[in-house]
Structure 1
Amino acid sequence: MAIDTSPSQVATSALQAIPFGSIIGGPLKACIEAQAMAAQTSWKFIQEVGLNTNPETGQREAINVSFQFMQNGHMAQLNVPLLTIVPIPYIAIQDIDINFKANISASSSSVSEKSSSSAIDAGLEASGGVKVGPFHMNASMKANYSSKKDSKATQDSRYSVEYTMDVAVKAGQDSMPAGLAKVLELLGSSLDVSDPDGTLEVSERTLSLNGNNVTLIATYKNGSGLFDPKAITIDGIEGNIDGDNKVFKLSNPSNYIVKAGQKQVTVTVKAAAAEQPAAAKG
């Protein structure tokens, strides 16, 4: 009896039917989706933690952390962008290992058995007698016949299919993109130590009139370290904003008080010196 090859064919078909696309593509797709979620989480963190919307202009501004400390016997204030002192979550998948193992076994066995037996026993038995002279003879005859035939056929076919898959994903804090690193570098350079009450500076404390008026330039940084020329005032004098400065034209000899926030500076304008009389001729 020929060996049945159908189990082998079934096993081969089972191997061909394994969904390799789903087995390999499924974990890869999940990793890509996880990476996209990580990027969205980073962007959401930057917007919710590091940025704020100015209610007046509607512009997004970096949130600064300000605190005061003692420096050289004076109280100073440190202003630093929040994004530069907190870690930004930027998780990236570094390695993906997919290990797949398929174990398919098939077996077929066939057993054929045939046996036969026969027995013949022949004889003749007759009952009768013949007497010849002083002799007497009896004869008997017996005959039988038997035959036996056995046959056995056995067929056994087995197959099994087993496959396992191990997926290992390694992720960690990745280096930031070049654009984000540059932004944080710029924010880091904006770190500033300022006076909590602001800083007011003027071009000169004492001015002399050499004509109709003299020019005074004033600069003011508020407690947050920002230039605020609009806050600079002199009572009775209008000034013009020029960039980060405010320019005043002073025409009368007097003492002028320049104010901004909690700061003030006194500027003295003196009259022009009288011309010296010509030396007498001898």
Structure 2
Amino acid sequence: MPNPGQELSSIDFESMLGGPLVAVVKAQAQAAMSSVNFIKEVGFKKKPADQQDSESFETEEPIYVKFKYWKETKPYEPAVPANPGDSAASPPIPSSPLIPASPAEYQQHDLEVPILTMLPIPFIRMEETTIDFNAKINSVEYQSTDTNFKINASLEAKAGWLWGSAKLKVSTSYQRKTSQGSEVNRTYSMAVHIKAVQDEMPAGMERILGILEDGIRATPNNVTA
């Protein structure tokens, strides 16, 4: 009869369990390279084709998003008397003519913002990996015996005056067949569960974004309203 312990010991657990773990490590490396490529492709200008080097990570200046907006430079001022009178005096002193209202003034500004500071940068991390392995071994032993017994008989008799004879024929056969053996059914199943999360931004990337934020520029132009 097969021994389940020996059956399980013959399984190559190193390959079955190590394979998914190696795949997770490779997936983490691919995710890191995807983040690098995203930053290069989206955040920085590309070099000319004759200056590109596939083995170098050097890039040109960052890409800026430029747009115009209006900013209030002087608030609206309502009309007020130039010299308010004294209503408590007797007789009251009338106030002088009004100073006309001053409308608000606006000036157009050009704003330049690094695009990397406006986008969520993907940093995917494999947080948890669960490997479920199930082995089911069914062992059956069987033994069967088949017996066949057969008998045939015939009787012949002859009789005459004062004499007679009889003849009896008997034939038998006996067969016995025995078979035995064992049958083993093996069923293996494995499930891999991976949980990926958005990782925290690396410290170096935070400092780069801080430098880019300091580079946000708002430049007034000569357009006013």
Pairwise TM-score range, normalised by the shorter structure: 0.5 to 0.7
Q: Is the 8 A contact 2:44 2:59 kept in 1?
A: no
| Matched-pair identity in % | 33
**Residue aligning to 2:129:** 96
Secondary structure of the 2:61 match is strand
Quote how far apart the aligned CAs of 1:42 are. 1.0
CA distance in 1, matches of 2:36, 2:27: 14
**1:43 and 2:36 are equivalent in the alignment:** yes
CA distance in 1, matches of 2:107, 2:14: 69
CA distance in 2, matches of 1:184, 1:92: 20
**Residue aligning to 2:93:** none
Matches within 5 A, 1:181-260: 181-196=206-221
For residues 161-184 of structure 1, what are the alpha-carbon distances to aligned partners after superposition, in whole Å with 9 as ceiling and x for unaligned? Answer: 111111222223221112212221
TM-score, normalising length: structure 2: 0.62
**Which residue identity lines up with residue 40 of structure 1 in the other structure?**
M
**Residue aligning to 1:168:** 193
CA distance in 1, matches of 2:141, 2:59: 78
**Residue aligning to 1:71:** 71
**Residue aligning to 1:154:** 179
CA distance in 1, matches of 2:167, 2:70: 139
Query: Are residues 144 and 61 of structure 1, via their aligned partners in 2, closer, same or farther at CA, if it must alter by over 3 Å?
Result: closer
**Residue aligning to 2:11:** 18
Higher RCO, 1 vs 2 (CA within 8 Å, ≥6 residues apart)? 2
Q: Is the 8 A contact 1:76 1:193 kept in 2?
A: yes
Secondary structure of the 2:45 match is strand
For residues 243-262 of structure 1, what are the alpha-carbon distances to aligned partners after superposition, in whole Å with 9 as ceiling and x for unaligned? Answer: xxxxxxxxxxxxxxxxxxxx
**Residue aligning to 2:21:** 28
**Residue aligning to 2:141:** 108
**Which residue identity lines up with residue 31 of structure 2 in the other structure?**
A
Secondary structure of the 2:180 match is strand
CA distance in 2, matches of 1:112, 1:76: 102
Q: Is the 8 A contact 2:110 2:221 kept in 1?
A: yes
TM-score, normalising length: structure 1: 0.51
Q: Is the 8 A contact 1:108 1:158 kept in 2?
A: yes
Q: Is the 8 A contact 1:42 1:90 kept in 2?
A: yes
Which blocks of at least 5 consecutive residues in structure 1 are unaligned?
120-126, 130-137, 198-282
Quote how far apart the aligned CAs of 1:145 are. 7.1
For residues 52-91 of structure 1, what are the alpha-carbon distances to aligned partners after superposition, in whole Å with 9 as ceiling and x for unaligned? Answer: 3799xx9743322221100010001222221100121222
Bigger radius of gyration: 1
**Residue aligning to 1:86:** 119
- How many residues are matched? 180
Secondary structure of the 1:89 match is coil
CA distance in 1, matches of 2:128, 2:216: 37
Matches within 5 A, 1:131-142: none
Q: Is the 8 A contact 1:70 1:76 kept in 2?
A: yes
**Which residue identity lines up with residue 69 of structure 2 in the other structure?**
F
